[in-house]
Amino acid sequence: MSIALVILAAGKGTRMKSDLPKVLHPIAQAPMLVHAMRAGAALNPERIVVVAGHGAEAVAHAARQADERAVVAIQAEQKGTAHAVAQARPALKGFSGDAVVLYGDTPFLQPETLQRMLAARNDHDLVVLGFRAGDPGRYGRLVMRDEALERIVEYKDATEIERAITLCNSGLMACDATTLFSLIDAVGRDNAAGEYYLTDIVALARGRGLSVTAVTCDEAETLGVNSRAELAAAEAAFQARARADLLGAGVTLTAPETVYLAFDTVIGRDAVIEPNVVFGPDVTVESGATIRAFSHLEGAHVSRGAVVGPFARLRPGAELADNSRVGNFVEIKNARIDEGAKVSHLSYIGDASIGAGSNIGAGTITCNYDGVMKHRTTIGARAFIGSNTMLVAPVSVGEDAMTASGSVITRDVQSQALAVARARQENKPGRARKLFELLKARKAKRDRGQE
């Protein structure tokens, strides 16, 4: 069966007190919209339609970054959820299959839940996702009779008896696309808010003799985000679950509550993550690697047996091979550190290749940027780079070569060569004492002038 996703993302999110569209507020360093799209991606959809309104250009950019196939439909005026879904009709012209309606501010939906909704579609024309709420509050209520869903009633339109129902509406639905739009065409706005409710299609479907049911999920999956406080709670919920998943998969987190993971962090079993480590997007840490305390990783790949940190920063394009070492106060960017190579402390390695078994001394910098363009440094296997070496790219150092400490390397160094590139030292007898006396006199004169 072909699947189309219709993701509603037009709301401004007034309670967020923000110029940023609500669905673009991040959880685990990805917009909420991206989380919803990732859940829907498990259905292998043929089409993806994101309905945007407030901040549509920014929403469209985020959607297409997440999936280049995404088509953006505009809801210029927010007239309710049925009206929002109706805006997707042109983008689904010629589509034959099921439409699944998702919400861009519901980031915790699990792919397995969507699969169960589609499974229920084998026996029913319309499937709604519901949940049992500990505190139903102002959620819409699902009115069931056995397995049949009779109607959904909004809280503001519900009777006292209906408000006592704890089975609540998540807003998600699955239905044949042609049937869905036919039902939406019949939706009116005779309700307390004067809006076109998507929930009204349940009663309309039953009036046409169609079969309607509800599938339930855990309440946590339906958590919506409407305020900064709820955003913080959602972030905490994501982190707690992600940490638990890693621990269950055989990863050691020595202080789990201090480790912050991105939405796509991948860590292999027997890896060790020490306290206060932050993972940005697109990081893979292989089995047996160690990430020491207070390190920050983004866009990096750390291979087996490698050790990072403490206090290290891996930026996008950092590639650490097996058993390599990146130590304290080292920054790696767009660079490969080959097997067994060491960059132990106080260095910046950017746009570079470091050969296997090489040792990079403290204070080494690859000078990769000339103010306009980036240039590359290549260091061969088993090279020894002396402390405080400046490697002015583009430049290469051959295998088994060495640079003297304090050198500024501007030309290629051949294999097995020693490069010395520093000014000759001169010692001036007695000049230190005379210089100090001169400086003290100047300071005293300056201080007297300020009295």
Tell me: do 190 and 248 sit in the same domain: no
389, part of any domain: yes
Strand partners, 47: 4
Decide if pLDDT at 451 tops 80. no
Res. 319: pLDDT tops 90: yes
- Asked if residues 366 and 347 have their Cβ atoms less than 8 Å apart, the reply is no
Q: What total number of domains does the chain contain?
A: 2
Note whether 360 and 298 are same-domain residues. yes
- Tell me if 169 sits within 8 A of 128, measured CB to CB: yes
With respect to residue 85, please indicate whether it lies within any of the assigned structural domains: yes
Bridge partners of residue 52, in order along the sequence: 9, 74
Say if residue 148 is in the same domain as residue 127: yes
Average pLDDT estimate for 352-365? 98
Q: Using 50, 70 and 90 to split pLDDT, how confident is the model at 251?
A: very high
Among 222, 250, 270, which residue terminates a domain? Answer: 222
170, 217 Cβ separation under 8 angstroms: yes
Asked if residues 285 and 266 have their Cβ atoms less than 8 Å apart, the reply is yes
Average pLDDT of the residues in 27-36: 97
State yes or no: pLDDT of 364 exceeds 90. yes
User: pLDDT tens for residues 369-399?
Assistant: 999 999 999 999 999 999 999 999 999 999 9
Please give the model's pTM, rounded to 2 decimal places.
Answer: 0.88
Residue 185 is classified by DSSP as: H
Q: Is residue 197 part of a domain?
A: yes
Neighbours of 65 (CB within 10 A): 11
Asked if 273 and 253 touch (Cβ cutoff 8 Å), the reply is yes
Query: So what's the pLDDT on residue 450?
Result: 64
Give the mean pLDDT of 291-308. 98
> Average pLDDT of the chain?
95
Q: What is the CATH number of the domain that holds 78?
A: 3.90.550.10
Residue 174 and residue 256 in one domain: no
Q: Are residues 110 and 94 in the same domain?
A: yes
Q: Are residues 232 and 207 in the same domain?
A: no
Helix (H, G, I), strand (E, B) or coil at 385: strand
Residue 450 lies in a domain: no
Q: Are residues 67 and 202 in the same domain?
A: yes
Query: Which of the four pLDDT bands, split at 50, 70 and 90, describes residue 113?
Result: very high
Whether residue 270 sits in one domain with residue 376: yes
**174: β partners:** 100, 127
Answer yes or no: 124 catalytic. Answer: no
Is 393 found in the same domain as 254? Answer: yes
Give me the pLDDT at residue 193, please. 80
Residue where a domain stops, chosen among 183, 201, 222: 222
Q: Is 327 inside any structural domain?
A: yes
Q: How far apart are the C-alpha atoms of 94 and 46, rounded to whole Å?
A: 12
- Residue 138: the pLDDT is 85
> Which is the catalytic residue, given 35, 54, 296, 345?
345
- Decide if 65 is inside a domain: yes
Predicted confidence (pLDDT) at residue 28 exceeds the cutoff of 90: yes
In a domain, 352, yes or no: yes
Read off the pLDDT band of 256 (50, 70, 90): very high
Question: Is 70 exceeded by the pLDDT of residue 95?
Answer: yes
Mean pLDDT check: name the lowest of 26-40, 50-64, 147-161: 147-161
CATH number at residue 258: 2.160.10.10
Res. 82: pLDDT tops 80:
yes
User: Quick check: is 60 in a domain?
Assistant: yes
Q: What is the pLDDT of residue 137?
A: 86
**Are 216 and 246 contained in the same domain?**
no
Q: Give the confidence band of 419 by pLDDT, cuts at 50, 70, 90.
A: very high
Q: Is the pLDDT of residue 337 over 80?
A: yes
Are the C-beta atoms of residues 287 and 270 closer than 8 Å to each other? yes
Proportion of the chain above pLDDT 90, given as a percent: 89
Place of tokens 């960017």: 333
pLDDT surpasses 80 at 191: no
Last residue of a domain, one of 222, 243, 261: 222
DSSP category for residue 425: P
Residue that has been written with the tokens 């970054």 in this structure: 65
Higher pLDDT, 451 or 314: 314
Dist. CA 79–CA 40, nearest whole Å: 25
Residues 331 and 353 in one domain: yes
| Residue 48 lies in domain | 3-222
Tens digit of each residue's pLDDT (9 = 90 or more) over 147-177: 999 989 888 888 999 999 999 999 999 999 9
Provide the pLDDT confidence category of residue 53 given band limits of 50, 70 and 90. very high
Would you say the C-alpha torsion 141, 211, 111, 100 has a positive or negative sign? negative
> 148 and 246 share a domain?
no
- Which residues are CB-contacts of 130 (< 8 A; sequence separation ≥ 6)? 142, 167, 168, 169, 170, 214, 215, 216, 217
pLDDT, position 12: 83
- Mean pLDDT score, 27-44: 96
